[in-house]
Structure 1
């Protein structure tokens, strides 16, 4: 026993993730190891963007091939021309190095050209031709950016910054 007469306090037992034991920590204590056993999105399969795009296009192609059967070709051509002109007018012509800037104008431009591509594809007879036309249009016009683009450095951009 120390000279003061009081025994030293016992060392605290390690924190446990249980509620039925009396523990020397406050009720709202959270151990640094509390979230080590947490598993997030364990059963969510990882899908390839290209495969999902191809499958969606293949599934929608029969619908697109019959979309404008009851509309005359002149009307479809006029709509396609108007949508293409809207795309040219609304497109964002700034260089890509100026940074990502999502705007309503750019979104409307993309929507207009993709609607025109769907109208053009709907005039094709074969479902495979419709799917090929839509995939080609998506690749040509939809510069779809997402978190997968941010993870991979772009060589040209890195060289300009150096």
Structure 2
């Protein structure tokens, strides 16, 4: 079995008007999140992981827009329901936060095995909707990353 690498990216996709894209997880209906995903290999650059995950989960080519490493990382305990995806004994993941600014809302092509639906929401409402505390915290930092 190929185990997931316990290092991932979180990509907050947003517009200059602070509208944020959230997607509902297919394996956990009611759980809303930004784009997330683990490195494919231990030496995959985090930016490459972010670009790949955005394309896989939304169909958006993030290389055409402003993808920024927010220089933030979170270490959190992996939810027990998903721990079987990691090597035995792995209990924590390090998540690196990126922001992707799109000029306007874009239609999204969801990966049906991963997400059921998507919504563009005002940033504070999006933060309230997230099931993940680190995802909500990243969204609440959004005003710090948008030029005035």
TM-score w.r.t. the length of structure 2 is: 0.24
Which one scores higher on RCO, CA 8 angstroms, separation ≥ 6? 2
More strand by share: 2
Larger radius of gyration: 1
More helix by share: 1
